[in-house]
Structure formats: structure tokens, C-alpha cells
Structure 1
Amino acid sequence: MTAADISRLAGVTRATVSNWRRRHPDFPAPAGGTDTSPTYDLDAVRAWLSARGQLPEDTPADRLRTALRTHPGDAELALHLLPVVLAAARLDRGEREALPALRDDALLRWVRSTADDGAKGFPGTADAVYTPEAAGPLRAVLQCVVTDGAEAATDVLAERLLEDTGGTGTYLTPRPLADLMARLLTDSTGAFPVSVLDPACGTGSLLAAAASAGATELHGQDILAAQAAQAAVRLRLSAPETAITVRTGDSLRSDAFKGLTTDAVLCNPPYGVRDWGHDDLAYDQRWAYGVPPKGEPELAWVQHCLAHLAPGGRAVLLMPPAVAERTAGRRIRAQLVRDGALRAVVSLPQGAATPLHIGLHLWVLERPDSQAEAPGTILLVDAAPSENRDLDWATIDNTVLSVWRPYLADQDGYTGAPGIAAAMPVTDLLDEAVDLTPARRIRTASQQALRPALLARQASELYDQLHRTATDLVGLSADGDWPPADDRPRDWRTATVSDLLRGGALSLLHTAPPGRRTRSGPPQPRPEARSGTRPALTAADVFENRPASGTEADLPAGIALPLVQASDVLLTELLGVGRTAVARVAEPGETGCFLGPHLLLFRPDQRRLDPWFLAGFLAAEQNVNAAATGTSIIRVDPRRLRVPLLPLAEQQRYGAAFRSLHELRAAARRADRAAEDVTRLLSTGLTGGALLPRGHGSA
């Protein structure tokens, strides 16, 4: 095993493993590899970690990682195990739990028949061969499915596949961004397209968002067989009733869906790939708006997506901001604008998606209908805040959709939103540069729409709100006297969440597909039909400490959804860039809400565990880091989290402290938002000539 494997096994960083090697003479000597990339004997490493108390609980996921590492050709085997995960997930619970106990020959017979049945639906698995040596990894992956669920097993296989893909320019589309892109496909009546294509689907995040929104036919293609196979499995797990076709290959050079027209397209094209086939595709029929220059691969993807749309169909693409202004692409941009193919450009804040250092754009396109008149305007939206702030997807969603929906309903009458959105006449955009950067165009257009009296009244109201939030913050931060411990930090015995679950001190719930285990007990039954009116608590709601912003209608169909109760502890499951997990106790008004995806719900026995004490220690940074799993998608393994074993009275003292910290953090966030709102409004008013500086005109 490599140093990276050791870091995953121990739940520490690579730097920690390097420190162990340098500082501990008894650290196992390399058993192979090279001087720069040594490998180590698994048993020796496990013994060393165990002796130091650094070996976490041996979970099925850990055993699967070990089984893959010790099997020759482990990356290829990981790919071939993906359809096995899906086949096991589709079995009844009893049949699924019986699989790991089968003899090797019976297990191999079952797997071979399963592979033969599903090979056509999984790119890269048609030539799968399961030898007797594969029995150990097969049993490990099946045990992981039984214990942790099919999604967790898929994540472990994806970790190994990611190391071997060798792909460049391909990045995961974060789920909040994927959901926003999907919502932009909804028409003015609220209907969602039936069929959706993603020609650079990766592991399927955009198609999964489309399925959640209502699409029933999904088509995906990716140049990497490992990515395409993951997409096929993940989509079949999350949307089992949807028609899914996933193929492998280069969509520009070898379109697997040639001749297919769909209602909609979602796409996050490869970033910065210059060798996209310019010389080979110079006379391609897809270039209806002009042959893309070699340095404009994104404009090739734009036209590829338009070519797959039915007339009036819509596409949403994630684009680098330079595509909106580069000189080489201005003729194609002009033709897209002139023909009415480009409907909107939305600028996003930095960090919304990889690459994180730039603010990407969303392009909303529409296949022109020859029977309809070309639109006279294009919507430009600046959803990036004026200052660097933590990503607030609820605010971004609200900013974009609150202008897109009214524009879609009345494109001729839409007047825009000062400083945020403008419906730009096509004739104004067709200048020499054809610069489609929203911020530059909106800044000019918004000056004419400002109303001085209204802006002054809004500024006064925002100042009052800022004063109230600042007063709250000052009151909560008045007492900063926290007594120190003794000469050394306290040292206490701890138990894992897994131990507490077994002892009945708490239960764990998690939104998951039907049949997947969601608590320390039997799987939840398939849910009944829902009305769509009950509120749903999302991961963003917990992270931002705000009321439930979703409804059950926004959640995927066919998903078992737990209901939140008073004193439940909520923990965000996914770890984003530069942030750790957040935990808090459910508010009284959240009782009865559905639990949304990517949230973990801990229900403590309050005779044994104080809820705020539990929330504080579960979200401790060192605790979360030790329980984090995954590579491309990093999530918390809740059963590996640790909690101190303290008397209830002492727990309550810690719980009161954690609650006060939570209230302080919430007040600071409210004050920050209020300050941002008032400064942005005043800046817009001053620079647009609608407001005057204080004391203007006085002696």
C-alpha cells in the first residue's frame, strides 16, 4: 500500500504519514516501490497503527479498499465491480445479505451471470472476466453494499478509478450548481423537459439533477470509460424508474448519439482542452454558427449541444468567462446572438465550481424555431457578489431564478433588476467586440433604471436592519471569559457513533433510496405518494442556519424521507472546498420537516446524551477529518465519529457552551449579510447617480 492508502486507512492527511515516517524509527520499512513512491506491507502498517491507537474501526468500506489494493489489476477490477454493486442493490434485502456468505464458486457464478446480463449498459465492462482471485474483492464489495449501501460502495470504487483515469480538464459539477442548471430548463408553465442529454457527463451529476427535477429519459456520454460506468451506476441507483443510456467516447470526434434530438441539454464541457479535433472537424455540419477557432473549444461544445436540441429546446452550459469576450470567438458569438440561439448569460461567484479561482458563466441556449420570430433581447445576470464571501447557494439560486422566471414569462416587457440583471437589446450587443460579460453590460444599463427616492428608502430600511443585527452580535459577544483547563488539555474516553448506535444511546437517519439502510435497524419502506406541500430541510439550510427552504416537491421521487423531530442533531454530510461539517440542533419550527439529501440526523436518547453536547463534538474539525471518506466527493462516515463519555450533567454544561457559540456564529452571519446588502445598495446608488454623499451641498 502507498502513503496515500495509509492516510486513508488511518483517517489522517498525507503530511501526517510523512511525519510518522521521519520521526518514528519503528515505522514499517518500505516493502517495494521506489525511493520517491515507496509501498508498504499492509499487515505491518496495520500492526503499527493498532499499537499506537491510530487504527480506526475496521469498516466494510476500509476492507473493500484493502481488497482492491491487494488484488492485481485493481483499477480494472474496480471498474468491473460497478455493475455488481447495482445488481446487488436491486435484490431483495434477504437475497442481498446472503451473497457475501456464498462459497467462492457460487459467488463467481452469480457475478458472471450478472455481468453478462448488464454488460451492454455499462461502458468498459463488456470484457469483464471474474477469476477465482477476484472472490475476495467481490465479497468485500457486496458486504459494503449490505452494510453501508450501494452509494457508499460506489464511492469507494470511484476513489480507485479516479487515481487511474489520467483525465485532464474534467471536473465534478457541485450538486447545488447542477440543481440550478437543471432549474433553468423549466419552462414558463413549470414543466420540465422529458429527455435530457449530457455529452460530457462525467460521473452523472448533471443528469442526476435532471432526473430529480422530472426528466424521464437520460442520455450521457463521456470520453473516459471509468467515468461513464460510474454515471450509469449512480443514475440507476438514484433514478431507477428512468430510461438511462450512457456511452463512452469523444462526443466531438465520435458522437455516440448522432442523429438524436432531445428536449434539453446540460453540459459542463472539459476545461482548457485545446486538442479537441479542430483539424479533423473543419467541415462538420454542426458548425451552423461558424467554424470554431482552435483556441475556442467551448464554442464547439455550444454548437454540438445546439445540434442535439429539438426546435425550441433549451441547453445550459457551464463556461469559462473568457468565452464571453475573447476576440477569436466574436463572430460566432454575434451569430448566436443574431439568430436568437443565446438566451441568457449568468456570471457566478468564484468557487462555484472548479477551477475555483475564476467566476464561471452559465450560458442558456435555445434551438431557434424557424416558425417563430427571433427574440429581441438577451438576459444578462450578475450573480457574483461585489465582495468575496462564502458561497451561499440559496442566495445565488434566488438571484438567478428571481430574474430568469419573470424574463421567461414576458421577454418583451421585462425591465431588469438594478445592478443584477438587464434584458439587453440584441442590437446593443452586436457591436465590434460582442462582449457578453454580464457585469460590464449591466453596469451601464442599470444607471438608467435607478429610482432615487425608492433607493433612499430602501437604504434607510437596510440600515435599520443592520443596526438590529449588530446590536444582537454585540450582546452575544460581550462575555469572552472562558476559563482554561489545567496545565494540559483534558483527556477523556470516547466512543464511536457505531458503538452508541449498538448501545441504543442514539439512532441515525439519512435520506436514501428505497431499500437502503437509513438507521441502525431495518431499511425504510418505499414511501407513499406525497402532496408536495411539506417543507424540506436542505444541507444549505443547516450550513447557513436558516429555516427550511425546500419542499418535498423539490426532492426526488421514490426516496425514503425521514421527518425531523425536536432535539434532533443535524450534521452536513458533504465537505465542500475550504469548509468543514456543520452541526446544530433542530429548531422548534423545523419539527415535521422532511430531511433532505446530504444531511445526517442523529436522534439521541436525552436521558443519556445532551443534543447540543452531541452536536458540538460531532462537528469538531479533527473528528470530521478523521471520519472523512472519498476523493472527488468527500463525505463524513458518521459511524466513525467519536463522542466523549461524560456524565449527563457535564454534557449539559458543554451543550450550553456549544449552543452559545452557535448563536454567536448565527448572529455574525446575519450582521455580515445585512452589511453586504446595505453597502451593495449604496454603492449602486452612488455610482449610478441616484444617491448623493452625506453632507452633499452643505456648507
Structure 2
Amino acid sequence: MPPSADPSVSVTLAEIARIAGVGRAAVSNWRRRHDSFPAPVGGTDTSPQFALSQVEEWLRRQGKLDEVGSRERLWPEFEALGDRDTMGRAIAAAGARLAREEAGHTTDTTHAGGPPDADAAEGLPYDTGLSDAQRSLVERAVGLARKHGARETFDFLLGRWLDTHVRQIGVTPHPLAALMAEVAELARDGEAGDVGAVLDPACGTGGLLLAAARQWAGTVDAPPSGVPLKLLGQDVDPTQAALAAVRILLAGHSPGRETVWEVDVRAGNTLRADPHSEVCADVVLCNPPFNERDWGYEELATDARWTYGLPPRTEPELAWTQHALSRLAPGGTAVLLLPPGVASRRAGRRVRAGLLRSGVLRAVVALPPGSAPPHSVALHLWVLRAPSGGGADAGAGVLLVDAADVQPEPSGKTQRTGRAAIDWPLLRRRVVSAVRVIQVGDEDGNRSADHAVVPVIDLLDDEVDLTPARHVPKRGTSANLGLRRSWNRFGALLHELRNLTATLSALELGDEEPAGQGTVTVGDLLRAGAVTMRAGQQPADGAVRTGDAPDDAVPMLTIADVLAGGRPSGWLPSREASAGETAGTLTVTVPEEVVVVGAYRAFGAWVDTGAPTVLGSQLFALRVDPTLLDPWFLAGCLRAPANARQAGTHASTSSRIDVRRLQVLRLPLDEQRRHGETFRRLIAFERSLREAGTVGGELVDGLTDGIAAGRLPGNRA
């Protein structure tokens, strides 16, 4: 691929590493060893940016330009297009070209009014409005894809686009999408192989439709027989609808083969002006938008879709639920991902009662937190079946499955945001084994370890609360597994504490302070140049993201995070963090900087070993001169409770710490390092002790629940 056509495109050290196919440390080493390495053109000392064209030329001269990095060289140019929609249209245009070529319909132009083999998607924005330079970028992407694979190249660009705009675009994780499709199949009375059409009325970039294709249409390498599956989608965002259309088309093409499914993805407001209003789908899969207040309550008050009751203004999810039912063929199945409040909010109880009385609501499955955005919420799957010709069976009861207690992966793997990763194989086994009750009519499954088939009459009370945890007995096997894991972790923590105790308990503190030792304040150190201090800042509204983060994301730490345990709950893209640091609107730490909390209620100080970190308000970064101060020694002195008391304002319960008044021992550098090492052990002791208390509390709660439920060994009725 030729060098970047736009010399203004810049890249970070992390992006250079990906382009060259090496680690970031190798790139830093090149900068130190080679005087010819390009000079930064922007960014900051801690996060510099370099001209992509200069970097490519240098790598080529050094023989370090790995072909594996070809797609990585392309992405910064797409990112330089600026706004989300322009980037998305360019990626969709490249995908449309590639899909045509995969289908054997090559063309000499990038202009496309719709995707190949999908006239129903007419009007979606592919290269409409793109400049000549942007079309040239699309051409280079298509040329690259011819060498590295059409689907692989498009998926790479789409993945990077989603990572860049993860806060604005919600994506259903692949394992959850596959699980939803499998649940829909199990809930269809075992009628496998007869799904003709699948609809997603809020398809986003098409993840659920792809899961449906894999569930019911096979793969390109193992195409099914019979009529191709119809994949129908729509989304209010035209850019996402365009990306979904070409993504699904590319997934269904392979050189020398015909598509194994038909695609019809349209842009439109589903509730107000449904572009698929005449559809009768066999399956509906949907992850609708949550908490929309302006969903059309007034103009849709008399809509024919509200068979089970008018959805309240504050219950848009119940509008999506009834919309899904209205688009199902008789006997068709819908699986929706909904927030847990839909199962219990008082405003929606009349509609829930209508769904129960009609027999269309077949199951509610509680998922563990972290299964999908928003990750802090334990979302629910609702399984519904449209009435068939023989009428719905309202007396069969509703299957309630409580899988919210599925533990994290045994490996202890965590996501970048710090949350424990979901054990998807275990979650699938739990949900699938429970949902089979619907499929086979398992009489013994009416009330089991983690699920219960509750008679409709028992649910039709004043609350009509469908929350599974309120009706499902605590799973004994899962509780025992959780207890074993907790005991193992507790034992490991006790071992760590014993080792640290042996070291720390041997310390003998003097009765009096050594004469002439003295202290200095942080203010004194600032004036002497031994320390520089920067105050944390509040980012602009909407700048901080939550949820899954890309590899080069920069975590954002706030006072609320410190109070909640010290783990950052948000993050910013590395480019935005770097730009904010350059502009002086963000404070980003570097390794070995000392972070100090300026609020008395959350006071603390530590060495930021995980830098870079964006600091919020009331947080301060202290950078030491290593020839004068040891950072661990400084952090240990600053975090002393007595130090905080004398430096606090004490004006109110929300008093602040005057960081400049905090005191530090006056010691030679070698003594500082000795003290600093002791402070390291003390901080490790504190963290292990705190975690042991948390795990111990979990053990007490788990044992109390089990014993109170009569599961103590030897218990007799």
C-alpha cells in the first residue's frame, strides 16, 4: 500500500506498534536508539503523535514495515475523517464495493445507491456526500481487501469504528447474540429448520442478524438446503443501517459461492414509521434502546400494535415488546434484551398482566451484570411466542431463570474497565438447560436449582413482578461453587497477609521522634523544584465513556471511583486524552507519579503504577525529581492519617485537604528508598486486608443463606 495520501494524518506510539507488528516497548526503543526516527508533530511528552507518512517511510527504510500491519496503516486515515457518520459512510462504501466483488459484480465506481443483491436497502448512505479524497481512501481500502480478504478487512474497519464510538453506539456482545438466537430456537417447540425470516427492528450494526444467520442458515462452508433465510433489519441511524447491510452481505458471500441468505436492512424509525410494517417473521431478535422518553407516546396512543395494553410514557421497552409480537407470524418467537426494571416497575404492571393472561410471555431470564451495555446492570431476556391458530396456552406458566449469579471466569480474567469477564460457556449451559423446559415440557423442571415455572395466577398480584430472583430458589450447586471459590481466594489472601505480617510485625517503632529529623511541606518541595503538581480536571460532558474499552483507552479516575474502591469506572480514547492534555483541559498521569486525593472523606495517596490515568477534580498528580525524592516514600508520608488531619480545612463534612500543607520527612535519598520499600509492603498489607474483609463478608452471607434455607448437612425435616 502506498504511503498515506494525507500528510496531516498522525499516529500514536501504540498505533505505530500495531502498524509494525511489534510491542510498544520496541517502538520506544527505536526512538532512543535511532536519531533518524521521526520527530513528534503533536501530542504531549507522555503521549506524542507522529506524522503517519513519515513513520511509514522510516519503517520502510529500516525494513520494519510488516505486511501484517497493512490494515493498521489504513485505519488512522479513516479516523482522520473526523465525525462518526463520515467515517461510517466511508467504511460502508468500502464494504458495498467489496460485497459486489464477492458476488461477482465488480464495478468501476465507488458510488453505490444500495448494497449488492439488496435492492430493499435502497437509500442507505454509502459514499453519498464523500469527497474525492475520501473516495480515494475507499479505493485504497478495497485494494487492500483484495490482498487480505474482504470480510477480514471490513470487519477490522468496523471494529475500530465501534471502538472509537463505543459510548454512542451500543453493541450486543457476540456470545450474548448467539445465546439469544439459541434460546429462540429452543423456545419454538423444537421446530428446527423451518425459520424463513428473522427480523431485528433495532439492528444497529447487525450483530443479532448475523447470529441468526449462523443459527438458522449455516455458514458459507456449509450452506443449508431450501429457500435462503431472509434477514430483515431496520435502524433509526442510517449509518448503522448501512453498515449492518454490507456487513451481513459480506458474511454471506465467498468467492465462487452464492449467498446463503437474503438481506433487507432499511433506515427508519421503527415505532413511528416502521419500514417493515407488512412483515410476518418467524423470529424476532432485538436489543432495543433503553429509557427513551420520546418514543411516540402521544401520536401512537391508538396504535393497533398495543394488543396487551397501551405502554406508559415511561415504559418504552413495553412498546418494543408489543411491536415485536405484532411482527411475528402465528406461533413465531421473539427474544428481547431488556433492563431489569421492565419486569417490576409499577407503571408497566397492566401490560405485563396482559402478556401473562394471553400466554405470549413464555420466559424471563436474568443475566449477570456485564453481559451487555450498560455493564453495571443485570439485564433480562424476555422470550415471547405469538399466538398460533390454536390460541395461546395461558395456563402453562412462565419460566423464570435466575442466572445473575454466574461467577466470573475461573481464570480471573478481567475486562479493561476492571470488571470480571463473564464465563460465557457456563452462562450458556445454565440458560439453555433451563429453557429446554419450554421445548420439552419438562414436568420435573417446574421448580429446580436455578429456574422455576411459575403459574400465571401466582404472578397476577398487585405488583405483577416478573423478576426471577423473587420466585426462583437459591441455586445450591452454584452457591457451593461460589463458596469454594471464595474460600480459595480467602486462603490465598490469608497466605499473603501472613507473609506481610511476618515482615511488618518485626518493625519496632521508637517511642520518640529522632531529634533534628524535621519535616518539609509539599509547598516547600514545590518551591524548591523537587516536586511539580497538577490538579485534576472535569472533562467535558459526554467525553468519558463507560463499558468495554479498546486496548489503548486511558482510564478516568474520579472521587466517586475512589470512594467505591479505587477502580476507574470510565475511560477516554487515547487520542482525546492526548489532545486534552495538550490543550490543558485534562490531567493525565505518567508512571511513578504520586496521586493525592484532595477530599478528606476519600483521602489517600499512592504511586500510579498503571499510568496513564486521567484525573478528575479534587485529585492531584505530583511528579518528583528522582535525584531528590523517592515516589514511594513521598506517597507513604503523604497518606498518613495524622497528615490529613492537620492539612484539612475542617470547614464541613465535605472538608478538603490543602495538599501544599501536607508534610514529608526530611531524609537522605537512600533512607527515603528504605522507607519507601516499607511503605510498599504496608500498602500491599492494606489492600490484602481490605479484600480479605470483602471476601469474608461474601462467605458469611453465602453460608447464612444456605443454612437458613435448610441446606446444613444432616438437616432432617
Same fold (TM over 0.5): yes
> Judging changes above 3 Å, is the alpha-carbon distance between structure 1 residues 683 and 55 closer, same or farther for their aligned structure 2 residues?
farther
* CA apart distance, 1:219: 0.5
8 Å CA contact 1:79–1:124 kept in 2: the answer is no
Distance 2:702 2:270 in 1: 45
Q: Deviations over 1:101-144 (max 9, x none)?
A: xxxxxx8x354589796684365237737876456424421232
The answer to whether the aligner puts 1:349 opposite 2:368 as a matched pair is: yes
The answer to whether the aligner puts 1:335 opposite 2:354 as a matched pair is: yes
The answer to whether the aligner puts 1:177 opposite 2:176 as a matched pair is: yes
Distance 2:379 2:465 in 1: 15
Match of 2:279 in 1: 260
Match of 2:439 in 1: 408
> Judging changes above 3 Å, is the alpha-carbon distance between structure 1 residues 167 and 87 closer, same or farther for their aligned structure 2 residues?
farther
* CA apart distance, 1:330: 1.3
Distance 1:191 1:83 in 2: 32
* CA apart distance, 1:419: 3.4
Q: For the aligned residues, what is the CA RMSD?
A: 4.7
The answer to whether the aligner puts 1:197 opposite 2:199 as a matched pair is: yes
* CA apart distance, 1:337: 1.1
* CA apart distance, 1:355: 1.3
Distance 1:227 1:398 in 2: 32
Match of 2:708 in 1: 687
* CA apart distance, 1:157: 3.6
> Judging changes above 3 Å, is the alpha-carbon distance between structure 1 residues 171 and 70 closer, same or farther for their aligned structure 2 residues?
closer
The answer to whether the aligner puts 1:8 opposite 2:15 as a matched pair is: yes
Match of 1:383 in 2: 403
**What secondary structure sits across from 1:176 in the alignment?**
helix
* CA apart distance, 1:409: 1.9
Equivalent position amino acid for 1:180 in 2: L
Q: How does 1:585-664 map to 2 (within 5 A)?
A: none
> Judging changes above 3 Å, is the alpha-carbon distance between structure 1 residues 398 and 122 closer, same or farther for their aligned structure 2 residues?
farther
Equivalent position amino acid for 2:181 in 1: A
Q: Deviations over 1:571-603 (max 9, x none)?
A: xxxxx95999xxxxxxxxxxxxxxxxxxxxxxx
Match of 2:144 in 1: 144
* CA apart distance, 1:52: 11
Distance 1:414 1:695 in 2: 23
**What secondary structure sits across from 1:379 in the alignment?**
strand
8 Å CA contact 1:10–1:56 kept in 2: the answer is no
8 Å CA contact 2:357–2:394 kept in 1: the answer is no
* CA apart distance, 1:283: 2.1
Equivalent position amino acid for 2:360 in 1: A
8 Å CA contact 2:451–2:473 kept in 1: the answer is no
The answer to whether the aligner puts 1:395 opposite 2:414 as a matched pair is: no
The answer to whether the aligner puts 1:225 opposite 2:225 as a matched pair is: no
Distance 2:393 2:176 in 1: 29
Q: Which runs of 5+ in 2 are unaligned?
A: 1-7, 218-228, 253-258, 410-420, 496-546, 552-698
8 Å CA contact 2:18–2:69 kept in 1: the answer is no
Structure-1-length-normalised TM-score:
0.56
> Judging changes above 3 Å, is the alpha-carbon distance between structure 1 residues 419 and 680 closer, same or farther for their aligned structure 2 residues?
farther
Distance 1:253 1:302 in 2: 15
Return the match for 2:75 from 57, 60, 65.
65
8 Å CA contact 1:416–1:422 kept in 2: the answer is yes
* CA apart distance, 1:369: 3.5
Distance 1:171 1:209 in 2: 16
Higher Cα Rg: structure 1 or 2? 2
Q: Deviations over 1:469-528 (max 9, x none)?
A: 99xx99xx9xxxxxxxxxxxxxxxxxxxxxxxxxxxxxxxxxxxxxxxxxxxxxxxxxxx
**What secondary structure sits across from 2:473 in the alignment?**
helix
* CA apart distance, 1:260: 1.4
8 Å CA contact 2:315–2:342 kept in 1: the answer is yes
Match of 1:654 in 2: none
Return the match for 1:360 from 373, 379, 384.
379
Match of 1:296 in 2: 315
> Judging changes above 3 Å, is the alpha-carbon distance between structure 1 residues 290 and 199 closer, same or farther for their aligned structure 2 residues?
same
* CA apart distance, 1:87: 1.6
Q: Deviations over 1:529-555 (max 9, x none)?
A: xxxxxxxxxxxxxxxxxxxxxxxxxxx
Equivalent position amino acid for 1:396 in 2: L
Q: How does 1:162-561 map to 2 (within 5 A)?
A: 162=162, 168=168, 170-186=169-185, 187-192=188-193, 193-215=195-217, 216-239=229-252, 240-369=259-388, 371-376=390-395, 377-385=397-405, 390-410=421-441, 413-443=443-473
> Judging changes above 3 Å, is the alpha-carbon distance between structure 1 residues 69 and 370 closer, same or farther for their aligned structure 2 residues?
closer
Distance 2:132 2:9 in 1: 25
> Judging changes above 3 Å, is the alpha-carbon distance between structure 1 residues 63 and 404 closer, same or farther for their aligned structure 2 residues?
same
**How many aligned positions are there?**
459
Q: Which runs of 5+ in 1 are unaligned?
A: 96-106, 447-454, 478-575, 581-677
Distance 1:253 1:29 in 2: 51
8 Å CA contact 1:228–1:248 kept in 2: the answer is yes
> Judging changes above 3 Å, is the alpha-carbon distance between structure 1 residues 415 and 69 closer, same or farther for their aligned structure 2 residues?
closer
Match of 2:600 in 1: none
Distance 1:162 1:695 in 2: 54
Distance 2:300 2:715 in 1: 64
Distance 2:66 2:246 in 1: 29
Q: Deviations over 1:264-307 (max 9, x none)?
A: 10001113332222233222221122222222111111011011
Structure-2-length-normalised TM-score:
0.55
> Judging changes above 3 Å, is the alpha-carbon distance between structure 1 residues 693 and 188 closer, same or farther for their aligned structure 2 residues?
same
Q: How does 1:34-183 map to 2 (within 5 A)?
A: 41-44=51-54, 46=56, 59-68=69-78, 75-91=88-104, 109-112=108-111, 120=119, 121=121, 124-125=124-125, 128=128, 133=133, 136-158=136-158, 162=162, 168=168, 170-183=169-182
Equivalent position amino acid for 1:397 in 2: R
Distance 1:415 1:69 in 2: 52
